[in-house]
């Protein structure tokens, strides 16, 4: 299914994005790797060349609409078409609402929300021509607002609304739109998080949390594209929380209020 498909994965120099690229490369896809750091892009491209020769890197910030036009142009120049966009670039943020600076909110909206909107707008005409696929990587935090994760949750939920509108608008075009809700997934040691001031810092090791492997989360994304499932979860807890919120919304808030202290300390 992925042989010769041109796949653009934003934020794919580490973590879930890089693992998804590796698995798609092994399945014959032509890969476009991206992140803001040219060094990380070069390193990821060299790594992926073990699995496929059809891989290029385009460094730049997906929260910048002009860069996203460049992402499209360079991809089409190299591969002639675009089949699949995986909107994966994102950053987590920590801090209680009372502690967060406006700068932190602005930055996370730029990266997590506009960083999914701009690539979608830029690549949509090409993907529509191919009747291709657009995947949005949300989070369990995008199902409901989690304590200590307000900015992150808000942006991950905004992605869901955007994807829902897009799916309905594209319903007679043959384009597939999907939302993926990863649960806690193993992190690379260099993973960063935005602090309350909106500054990037290395994420502290999260103890006491059972994390899904990057491979399992990436396989769920690939499986979702193959089966064209609108919503997909890489963990049982994601499915469970979705059901809880839908059928017992008041109870969900009560449970979270009880677990608040524990969740806030997970950052």
Give me the least distance between CB of 152 and ligand NAP, in Å please: 7
Residue 21 zone, left/alpha/beta (φ > 0; ψ -120 to 50; rest):
alpha
233 is catalytic: no
| Active-site annotation holder among 149, 152, 181, 233 | 152
Give me the least distance between CB of 194 and ligand NAP, in Å please: 10
Give me the least distance between CB of 131 and ligand NAP, in Å please: 25
Give me the least distance between CB of 67 and ligand NAP, in Å please: 8
- For residues 221 and 233, give the distance between their C-alpha atoms in angstroms, rounded to a whole number: 9
Q: Which residue ranges make up the site for ligand NAP (CB under 6 A)? A: 10-11, 13-17, 34-37, 40, 61-63, 88-92, 111, 115, 137, 139, 182, 184-185, 187-188, 191
Break the chain down into helix, strand, coil percent, rounded to 5: 50, 15, 35
CB 115 within 8 A of CB 90: yes
β strands within the chain, DSSP E: 6-9, 30-33, 55-57, 84-87, 92-93, 133-137, 176-181, 192-194, 200-202, 231-233
Residue among 173 and 195 whose Cβ is closer to ligand NAP:
195
- For residues 94 and 143, give the distance between their C-alpha atoms in angstroms, rounded to a whole number: 17
Residue among 38 and 80 whose Cβ is closer to ligand NAP:
38
CB 264 within 8 A of CB 99: no
The DSSP result for 24-90, as a single string, is HHHTT-EEEE--S-HHHHHHHHHHHTTT-S-EEE----TT-HHHHHHHHHHHHHHHS---EEEE---
Give me the least distance between CB of 61 and ligand NAP, in Å please: 4
Residue among 172 and 207 whose Cβ is closer to ligand NAP:
207
Residue among 165 and 190 whose Cβ is closer to ligand NAP:
190
Could you give the 3-state DSSP secondary structure of residue 179?
A: strand
Residue among 5 and 40 whose Cβ is closer to ligand NAP:
40
Q: What is the DSSP letter of 212?
A: B
Instruction: Name the one residue in this structure whose structure tokens are 């989360």.
Output: 217
Catalytic amino acids? 152
């Amino acid at each position: 299914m992925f042989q010769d498909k041109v796949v653009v994965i934003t934020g794919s120099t580490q973590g879930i994005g890089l693992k998804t690229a590796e698995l798609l490369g092994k399945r014959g896809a032509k890969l476009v790797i991206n992140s803001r750091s040219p060094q990380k892009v070069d390193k990821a491209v060299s790594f992926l060349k073990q699995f496929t020769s059809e891989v290029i890197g385009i460094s730049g910030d997906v929260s910048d609409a002009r860069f996203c036009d460049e992402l499209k142009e360079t991809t089409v120049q190299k591969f002639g078409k675009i089949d699949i966009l995986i909107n994966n670039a994102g950053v987590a943020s920590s801090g209680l609402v009372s502690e967060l600076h406006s700068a932190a909110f602005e930055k996370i909206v730029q990266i997590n929300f506009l960083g999914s909107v701009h690539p979608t707008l830029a690549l949509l005409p090409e993907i529509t021509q191919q009747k291709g696929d657009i995947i949005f990587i949300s989070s369990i935090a995008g199902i409901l607002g989690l304590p200590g994760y307000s900015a992150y949750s808000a942006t991950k939920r905004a992605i869901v609304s955007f994807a829902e509108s897009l799916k309905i608008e594209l319903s007679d075009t043959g384009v597939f739109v999907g939302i993926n809700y990863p649960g806690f997934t193993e992190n690379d040691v260099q993973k960063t998080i935005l602090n309350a001031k909106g500054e990037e810092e290395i994420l502290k090791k999260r103890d006491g949390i059972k994390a899904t492997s990057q491979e399992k989360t990436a396989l769920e994304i690939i499986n979702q594209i193959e089966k064209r499932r609108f919503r997909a979860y890489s963990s049982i807890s994601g499915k469970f929380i979705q059901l809880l919120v839908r059928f017992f919304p008041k109870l969900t808030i009560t449970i979270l209020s009880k677990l608040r202290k524990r969740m806030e300390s997970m950052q």
